[in-house]
């Protein structure tokens, strides 16, 4: 299913380790830009932006977006994955692989938000998006190349 335009989506499953985002793996048929990122819940339904990357999903299908070292987002246990888009960039499914999400309508996709920007996100749903963060090893806290499946992901592999 195609998502609505101008939206921010937060996956409610918290990360269970420390690390940096090395790449984003996603599946799309829309060919649009989106901004996957890391958020930290501050209280209730308020989330602080830790960092985000701009992804131009110009190729349909399963794709890996390698994040340049200078743009990698460091996260800690308890942080969550989310994304913003102006035009629906990622399709979703409402089947068995759905996870709990929070979302809000936003019209500021083109705005460059700094780390620390606070977002209020209040509508909950259960959906499966094809988005995964691949983590960089930063030492004793996580195993090398630990991967976190943030949501529904198609059973395909990258070459």
CATH code of the domain in which 49 resides: 2.60.120
Q: Say if 11 falls within a structural domain.
A: yes
Question: What phi and psi, each to the nearest 5 degrees, are found at residue 70?
Answer: -70, -15
Q: Say if 104 falls within a structural domain.
A: yes
Q: Say if 139 falls within a structural domain.
A: yes
Q: How many domains does the chain have?
A: 1
| pTM of structure | 0.82
H helix intervals, 40-153 = none
Q: Say if 156 falls within a structural domain.
A: no
Q: Say if 159 falls within a structural domain.
A: no
Residue 7 near residue 30 (C-beta atoms within 8 A)? no
Q: Say if 71 falls within a structural domain.
A: yes
Round to whole Å and give the CA distance between 106 and 84. 8
Domain hosting residue 67, numbered range: 7-148
Round to whole Å and give the CA distance between 3 and 78. 26
Reported as a single tens digit per residue, the pLDDT across 98-156 is: 788 888 888 777 788 888 889 989 888 888 888 889 998 665 343 333 334 444 343 33
Q: Say if 153 falls within a structural domain.
A: no
């Amino acid at each position: 299913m195609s998502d609505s335009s101008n939206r921010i989506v937060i996956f409610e499953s918290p990360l269970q380790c420390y690390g940096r985002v090395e790449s984003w793996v996603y599946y799309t048929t829309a060919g649009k830009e989106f901004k996957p990122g890391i958020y930290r819940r501050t209280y209730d339904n308020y989330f602080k932006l830790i960092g985000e990357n701009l992804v131009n999903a110009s190729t349909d299908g399963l794709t890996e977006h390698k994040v340049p070292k200078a743009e990698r987002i460091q996260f800690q246990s308890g942080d969550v994955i989310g994304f913003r888009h102006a035009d629906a960039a990622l399709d979703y499914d409402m089947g068995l692989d759905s996870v709990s999400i929070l979302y809000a309508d936003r019209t500021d996709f083109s705005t460059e938000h700094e780390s620390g920007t606070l977002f209020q996100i209040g509508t909950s749903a259960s959906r499966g998006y094809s988005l995964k963060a691949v983590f960089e090893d930063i030492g004793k806290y996580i195993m090398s190349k630990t991967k976190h499946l943030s949501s529904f992901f198609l059973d395909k592999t990258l070459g």
